[in-house]
Amino acid sequence: MSEYGTLQDRVRHKSLLSKVMTAEETIQFFKPGMNLGWSGFTPAGYPKVVPIAVADHVEKNNLQGKWKFNLFIGASVGAETEDRWASLDMIDRRWPYQTGKNIAAGINEGRIRMGDKHLSLFAQDLGYGFYTKDTESGRLDLAIIEVSAITEDGSLVPTSSCGVIPEILMICDKIIIEVNTGEPSFEGIHDLVSCGTPPNRQVLNITKAGSRIGSTSIPCDPKKVVAVVESKLRDQGRAFAEQDDTSEAIANHIIDFFTQEVKMGRLPDNLLPIQSGVGSIANAVIGGLAKGPFYNLSVYTEVLQDTMLDLFDSGKLDHASSCSLSLSATPGFPKFFENMDKYFDKITLRPLSISNAPEPIRRLGVIAMNTPVEIDIYAHANSTLVGGTRMINGLGGSGDFLRNGFLKMMHTPSSRPSKTDPTGISCVVPHCSHIDHTEHDLDCVVTEQGLADLRGLCPRDRAKVIIDKCAHPDYKPILTEYFEMAKADCLRRKVGHEPQLWDRAFKMHLNLEKNGTMKIKNWDMKVDLCE
């Protein structure tokens, strides 16, 4: 018997106990070509034993490339599931976010058809049937949902994330439930609502990070449940990204900026709810807040990382709302489970369609902070495609928060190493090779060099401030020369609202490809159209 209670304890709708089976026995429900909907969001709350059993089945029976599925999941899930499926050529379509070497390779080599979308839109559009409309059933054929418990009326209690469970339940035909008895139950931490379909969508009456508008479980028709499987596997978790000097410098610029905004009366003393992405800079910012001058903070975001527990421990964070608890396997999750009574009431886990909904994000006035691949001198940002063509993970919720926040900020090191040059890649470029967020969405750009406050500036003024405050010193003269040259040329031709020269806007990118660095010697360029 598990220390966290038995399967019989967790499955309170007793008729469903008749559906208990092993993971291997669920193979019967899978057919190649099916549309699958999984619980999970970032490597948290995803099904494990069933996807692993299906992968084992494919491997054992040499079904690689023959058993392929369309995977719809709130965001990425553990590498032992989706990335292994990719390595076994089991994925045809994948929406809207992923993590893993094999799945990324499949996408960029053309074997896996991935699409990404603002996560809040993905959630609603999935529920509207937009992603499955051209497939055989037109619906999700099979859902695999990890839960902490099934209530007396058959409702599902999720685990460490809510993802798109409500939308999956709206449009799926059959459901496999994984009941996780390998960890304490999360019952009570969630605030679950199914948004529904227009014209009957409801008002989301959230007025602070901790507002509760729903219930702690989500209704589910027991007749759709075809299997209940016990799992004792824990989330693989998100490895903690260490802070470095660069991320600390960025965090300091941000804390200074907040201090100034409070002083000018544009931010309250306890700031506004924080949204913070993942990675070392996000960790440094949260670390900076733990040491900083602001109290009674709140968080309204999509993922909570380990540092958020530290911010609670500092006594400065009152409440955190999120779609998932993306802690590290160690020390994050064990720390959380051992101190659940300390953290539990201060955290609300919401479905993606609510954690990322424009409605509460605008109303609350969230401070949005995310890291791009590159930004350009006019404040467009590339969040997804290296070199404009190679997918890393996906868009995630960056656009939900950047479009709707009170302050919309992007932070990045000013440069990154290329294979041959420690500062061979400038994160500030003349024109982004892919644009996920436009100049119309960003208020501030921050690098270790400084913070560019772009509010109220026209494009030409923005370019000056971004180059001056944010570019790496090695690239400042290069970018300045481009901007001055483009401006002179475009203003002369009376087309200079936002100056660019299309024969050379990508010279830095092309030079990186050819010579391993964006440090070009000059802006000369000979372009022959070869007519």
Q: Of how many residues is the chain composed?
A: 531
d(CA 347, CA 359): 20
Of 5, 331, 358, 516, which one interacts with a copy of itself (CB under 8 A)? Answer: 358
Q: Which is nearer to a copy of itself, 151 or 356 (CB)?
A: 356
Site for a copy of itself in 114-133 (CB under 8 A): 114-118, 121, 124-125, 128-133
The type of residue at 455 is R
Quote the Cα angle for 155-159-162, to 5°. Answer: 75
What letter would DSSP give residue 97? -
Considering the complex, what minimum distance in angstroms separates the CB of residue 264 from a copy of itself? 7
Q: Which is nearer to a copy of itself, 249 or 367 (CB)?
A: 367
Q: Does 212 bind a copy of itself (CB under 8 A)?
A: no
Site stretch for a copy of itself (CB under 8 A), options 179-187, 304-312, 343-351, 494-502: 494-502
Q: Which is nearer to a copy of itself, 2 or 438 (CB)?
A: 438
Considering the complex, what minimum distance in angstroms separates the CB of residue 336 from a copy of itself? 27
Three-state SS string over 22-34 comes to CCHHHHHHCCCCC
323 touches 278 (CB < 8 A): no
Of 18, 62, 420, 522, which one interacts with a copy of itself (CB under 8 A)? Answer: 522
DSSP string, 343-369: HGGGEEE--HHHHT-HHHHHHHT-EEE
Site for a copy of itself in 74-93 (CB under 8 A): 93
Site stretch for a copy of itself (CB under 8 A), options 61-69, 168-176, 329-337, 358-366: 358-366
Site stretch for a copy of itself (CB under 8 A), options 40-48, 143-151, 242-250, 360-368: 360-368
Q: Which is nearer to a copy of itself, 123 or 249 (CB)?
A: 123
The type of residue at 398 is S
222 by DSSP, 3-state: which?
A: helix
Q: Which of 362, 515, 359, 329 is nearest to 424 (CA)?
A: 515
User: Using omega within 30 degrees of 0 as the cis cutoff, is the peptide bond preceding 199 cis?
Assistant: yes
Site stretch for a copy of itself (CB under 8 A), options 7-15, 24-32, 221-229, 510-518: 510-518
Q: Which of 94, 330, 167 is nearest to 235 (CA)?
A: 330
Q: Does 459 bind a copy of itself (CB under 8 A)?
A: yes
Site stretch for a copy of itself (CB under 8 A), options 242-250, 278-286, 466-474, 511-519: 511-519
Radius of gyration of the chain (CA): 24
Q: Does 60 bind a copy of itself (CB under 8 A)?
A: no
- Structure tokens belonging to residue 412: 């990045």
Site for a copy of itself in 18-57 (CB under 8 A): none
- Structure tokens belonging to residue 414: 């000013």
Q: Does 364 bind a copy of itself (CB under 8 A)?
A: yes
Helices (H), 61-138: 84-87, 101-108, 119-127
Q: What are the catalytic residues?
A: 302
Q: Which is nearer to a copy of itself, 208 or 316 (CB)?
A: 208
Q: Does 232 bind a copy of itself (CB under 8 A)?
A: no
Site for a copy of itself in 145-204 (CB under 8 A): 197-199, 201-203
DSSP string, 465-516: HHHHHHS-TTTHHHHHHHHHHHHHHHHHTT--SS---TTTTTHHHHHHHHHS
Considering the complex, what minimum distance in angstroms separates the CB of residue 503 from a copy of itself? 6
Site for a copy of itself in 242-271 (CB under 8 A): 264, 266, 268
Site for a copy of itself in 382-401 (CB under 8 A): 385-391, 395, 399
Q: Does 95 bind a copy of itself (CB under 8 A)?
A: yes
